[in-house]
């Protein structure tokens, strides 16, 4: 049987066959993970020129220029989420001036749309008012008739873009993981997935009827946990949540953006789960019978994957089915604090030692992390410890997406000092980060910033707004999209140029051009001194040795995987 990665590759290759036959000679792309099958297929076509351009808005206008000059269709490619939205100004211009563009937006598969999955929006109709045609052919299949359709679709898109009424044509490609064929990378270990739970039921506010109460009691038996994703905390929730956890004897897993990891908390608070869930014994011993879910989808992909197939009760007053694993069996559409009280009155505690196992694992990971970092070269983990210690209690930190928020999730454990942590995690784009940081500060939330080099480059027009800040924006300069170093694309031919895309960026010159102070640092003492300066506002550029950082992380994860003392 053909593997999913190969089906994706053949699906995209068929589309490119048709586009090339229809006259497309250039593919302008912005790097991303979900678009990997299209990039792999394009690399195999010598007659197709590939132009990688980091910023989607710039890429779209560049493609517009090519199409205008050559009067032939040019293909444009971006990953899922907010990325293709940056094409809109150029798409409008192409529609109004009659320029032939073929817009290819990679997308998450249909089973993730509308379920709160990360970097997933309704993008199939994003350009409906301006595109000559919009197509959403569905996920890849090996069916010969469907592959024939994809070739015809490519040829049709190129023909429609050319005219007689020239303009943009949109093709939205939902692609399932794995994105890379087995012939390119070794296949993942096979995993057995049990049959899905029965269809979910919802309780929409008010007092639940006796049937719903019994359903909750039947669902939440045995060893459970409470998972608090981004924006879980609401007024009045925290004390009642800790009371519920204490009554049940279950852990509360607190995402860094939950509003519950930093500040006063209960003994059930767990923050280091992304670490100890990399240990096979921990994954087995701590497997829950049920989950209570609050907030949006967690940052940790390790956690999300581990919780797959666990029956879930979701609490969400907005009635959002934030359920990318499709495991919600009961949705409580009501005030979370009131739900905690209601559940505490009806549920029986977990076995006595259940929470103790989690607390022991948390302490063990903290000890391993402290020991590991004391022995390791200075990089992001030590930087984060210094930065968090510098921020005033109750003040804020705005984190960019991609690596910065994941670094915080991995290394920033629970602490009693309050911190307001922000991140644009709705669609998880890296666009508009400096502007969002400025807006938070203008609204009265004193915030430091933590950005990557690519997220800074994505929002150069927003840097002028940072002149208004009285505290610095820390920029991690590690030479491009280092998140791809930890993804399956790492090592694929063309990786450096087409995925990591190191930017030719002089951050100091960019800062000065926007009237901002600039301090470049490479070590702990320099970084601490830069934070403490009276004129610290502006940009602190931290130059990270990316290979050394990767080694620090990989060694840490290996230690966690091999540790035998998690449950001593």
Question: Lowest-confidence range among 84-93, 192-201, 433-442?
Answer: 192-201
Instruction: Give the pLDDT of residue 189.
Output: 39
pLDDT band at 184 (very low <50, low <70, confident <90, very high): low
Secondary structure of 211-265 as H, E, C letters? HHHHHHHHHCCCCEEEEECCCCCCCCHHHHHHHHHHHHCCCEEECCCCCCCECCC
Residues with Cβ within 8 Å of 21's Cβ and at least 6 positions away in sequence, in order, are: 151, 154, 155, 158
Distance CA 396, CA 101 (A): 42
By C-alpha distance, which of 503, 510, 513, 533 is closest to 521?
533
What confidence tier does 186 reach under pLDDT thresholds 50, 70, 90?
Answer: very low
Of residues 235 and 270, more confidence is placed in: 270
What is the tens place of the pLDDT at every residue in 107-163? Answer: 999 999 999 999 999 999 999 999 999 999 999 999 998 999 999 899 889 988 998
Vertex 206: Cα angle to 203 and 212 (nearest 5): 40
Mean pLDDT of 288-300: 97
What angle, rounded to 10 degrees, do the helices at 237-248 and 336-344 form?
20
Rounded percentage of the chain residues whose pLDDT exceeds 90 = 79
Rounded Cα distance between 49 and 39, Å, is 11
- DSSP reduced 3-state for 349: coil
* Burial degree of 159 (CB within 10 A; 0-12, 13-18, 19+): middle
Would you say residue 201 has pLDDT above 90?
no
Express each pLDDT in 531-557 by its tens digit: 998 777 899 999 999 889 999 999 999
| Mean per-residue pLDDT, 377-389 | 95
Residue 486 — very low, low, confident or very high, per pLDDT cuts 50/70/90? low
pLDDT of residue 36: 98
Q: What is the pLDDT of residue 194?
A: 37
Q: Tell me: pLDDT of 202 over 80.
A: no
Give the per-residue pLDDT at 224: 98
Whether the per-residue pLDDT at 489 is higher than 50: the answer is: yes
pLDDT of 30 > 70? The answer is yes
pLDDT at 204 over 60: no
Please state the rounded mean pLDDT for residues 260-268.
Answer: 97
Q: How confident is the model at residue 400 (pLDDT cuts 50, 70, 90)?
A: very high
CB atoms within 10 A of CB 504: 5
Contact 505, 58 (CB under 8 A): no
**pLDDT category, 1, cuts 50, 70, 90?**
low
Q: What are phi and psi of 101, to 5 degrees?
A: -125, 140
Per-residue pLDDT of 208-228, as tens digits, reads: 667 677 888 999 999 999 999
pTM reported for the whole predicted model: 0.82
Pick from 172, 174, 173, 177: which is nearest to 108 by CA?
174
Cis peptide before 178 (omega within 30 of 0): yes
Split at pLDDT 50, 70, 90, the class of 193 is very low
Tell me, what's the pLDDT at 534?
77
Tokens describing residue 196: 């899905």
Specify burial of residue 345 (Cβ count, 10 A radius: 0-12, 13-18, 19+): exposed
Q: Smallest Cα–Cα separation from 80: which of 168, 153, 175?
A: 175
* Residue of 190 and 82 predicted with greater confidence: 82
At residue 196, the pLDDT reads 36
Give the E-state strand segments of 412-485 in sequence order.
Answer: 420-422, 447-452, 472-477
CATH architecture of 4-174: 3-Layer(aba) Sandwich (3.40)
pLDDT at 481: 73
Distances (CA, A) of 439 to 44, 447, 554: 44, 10, 36
Flag whether pLDDT at 191 surpasses 70: no
Could you tell me which CATH number the domain at 380-544 has?
Answer: 3.40.50.970
Euclidean distance between CA atoms 260 and 268, whole angstroms: 11
**Dist CA 28 CA 126 (whole Å):** 19
**What is the helix (H) or strand (E) element at residue 548, kind and residue range?**
helix 546-562
User: Hey, do 4-174 and 210-352 end up sharing a CATH topology, with the first three levels equal?
Assistant: yes
Nearest to 208 by CA among 216, 198, 197: 216
Degrees to nearest 5, angle at CA 348 with 347 and 354: 120
Element (H or E) spanning 170, and its range? strand 168-174
The confidence score (pLDDT) of residue 203 equals 56
Q: Per-residue pLDDT for 197 more than 90?
A: no
Query: 48 with 25: CB under 8 angstroms?
Result: yes
Q: How far is CA 370 from CA 303, 377, 381, in A?
A: 22, 13, 10
pLDDT tens per residue, range 150-166 = 998 998 899 889 987 89
Q: How many whole angstroms separate alpha carbon 424 and alpha carbon 435?
A: 11
Residues 142, 143, 148: CA angle, nearest 5 degrees: 105
Between the two ends of the chain, the Cα-to-Cα distance in Å is: 44
* Chain centroid to CA 63: 27
Q: CA–CA separation, 331 vs 317, rounded Å?
A: 9
- Least confident range from 281-290, 473-482, 551-560: namely 473-482
Give the mean pLDDT of 318-332: 83
CB atoms closer than 10 angstroms to residue 558: 11
With beta carbons less than 8 A apart as the criterion, state whether 381 and 548 touch: no
What pLDDT shows up at residue 171? 99
Output the pLDDT for position 187. 36
- Would you state the pLDDT for residue 163? 81
The CATH number of 210-352 is 3.40.50.1220
Q: Residue 152: what pLDDT?
A: 86
Average model confidence (pLDDT) for the chain?
91
Smallest CA-to-CA distance from 106 within 45, 42, 170 is with 170
Sign of CA dihedral 426, 427, 430, 433: negative
Residue 214: how many other CB atoms lie within 10 Å = 12
Q: What percent of the chain has pLDDT over 70?
A: 94
Query: Mean of the pLDDT values across residues 21-40?
Result: 96
- What is the domain partition of the chain in residue ranges? 4-174, 210-352, 380-544
């Amino acid at each position: 049987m053909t593997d999913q990665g190969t089906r994706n590759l053949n699906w995209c290759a068929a589309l490119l066959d048709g586009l090339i036959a229809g006259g497309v000679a250039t593919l302008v792309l912005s790097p991303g993970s979900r678009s990997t099958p299209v990039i792999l297929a394009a690399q195999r076509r010598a007659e197709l020129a590939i132009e990688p351009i980091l910023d989607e808005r710039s890429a779209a206008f560049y493609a517009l220029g090519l199409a205008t000059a050559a009067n032939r269709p040019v293909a444009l490619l971006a990953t899922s989420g907010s990325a293709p939205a940056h094409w809109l100004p150029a798409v409008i211009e192409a529609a109004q001036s009659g320029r032939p563009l073929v817009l290819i937006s990679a997308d998450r598969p249909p089973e993730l749309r509308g379920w709160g999955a990360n970097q997933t929006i309704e993008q199939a109709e994003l350009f409906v008012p301006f595109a000559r045609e919009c197509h959403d052919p569905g996920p890849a299949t090996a069916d010969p008739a469907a592959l024939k359709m994809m070739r015809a679709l490519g040829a049709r898109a190129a023909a429609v873009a050319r005219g007689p009424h020239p303009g943009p044509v949109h093709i939205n490609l939902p692609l399932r993981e794995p994105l890379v064929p087995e012939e390119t990378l070794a296949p993942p270990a096979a995993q057995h997935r049990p049959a899905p739970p029965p269809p979910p039921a919802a309780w929409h506010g008010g007092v639940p009827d006796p049937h719903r109460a019994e359903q909750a009691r039947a669902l939440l038996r045995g060893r459970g946990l409470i998972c608090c994703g981004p924006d879980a905390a609401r007024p009045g929730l925290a004390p009642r949540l800790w009371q519920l956890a204490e009554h049940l004897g279950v852990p509360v897993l607190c995402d860094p953006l939950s509003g519950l990891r930093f500040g006063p908390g209960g003994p059930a608070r767990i923050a280091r789960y992304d670490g100890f869930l990399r240990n096979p014994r921990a994954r087995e011993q701590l497997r829950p019978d049920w989950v209570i879910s609050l907030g949006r989808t967690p940052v940790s992909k390790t956690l999300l994957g581990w919780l797959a197939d666990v029956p879930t009760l979701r609490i969400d007053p907005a009635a959002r089915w934030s359920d990318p694993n499709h495991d919600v069996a009961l949705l409580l559409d009501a005030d979370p604090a009131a739900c905690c009280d209601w559940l505490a009155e009806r549920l029986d505690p977990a076995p006595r030692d259940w929470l103790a196992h989690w607390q022991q694992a948390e302490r063990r990971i903290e000890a391993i992390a402290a020991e590991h970092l004391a022995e390791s070269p200075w990089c992001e983990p030590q930087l984060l410890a210094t930065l968090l210690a510098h921020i005033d209690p109750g003040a804020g930190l705005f984190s960019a997406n991609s690596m910065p928020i994941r670094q915080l999730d991995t290394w920033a454990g629970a602490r009693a000092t309050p911190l307001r942590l922000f991140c644009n995690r709705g669609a998880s784009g890296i666009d508009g980060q400096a502007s969002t940081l400025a807006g938070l500060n203008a609204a009265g939330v004193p915030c430091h910033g933590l950005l990557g080099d690519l997220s800074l480059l994505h929002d150069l027009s927003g840097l002028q707004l940072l002149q208004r800040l009285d505290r610095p924006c820390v920029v991690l300069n590690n030479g491009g999209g280092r998140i791809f170093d930890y993804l399956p694309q790492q090592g694929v031919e063309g990786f450096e140029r087409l995925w990591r895309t190191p930017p030719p960026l002089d951050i100091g010159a960019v800062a000065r051009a926007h009237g901002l102070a600039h301090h470049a640092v490479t070590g702990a003492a320099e970084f601490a001194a830069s934070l403490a300066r009276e004129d610290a506002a502006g940009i602190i550029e931290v130059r990270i040795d990316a290979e050394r950082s990767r080694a620090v992380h990989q060694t840490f994860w290996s230690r966690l995987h091999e540790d035998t003392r998690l449950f001593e």
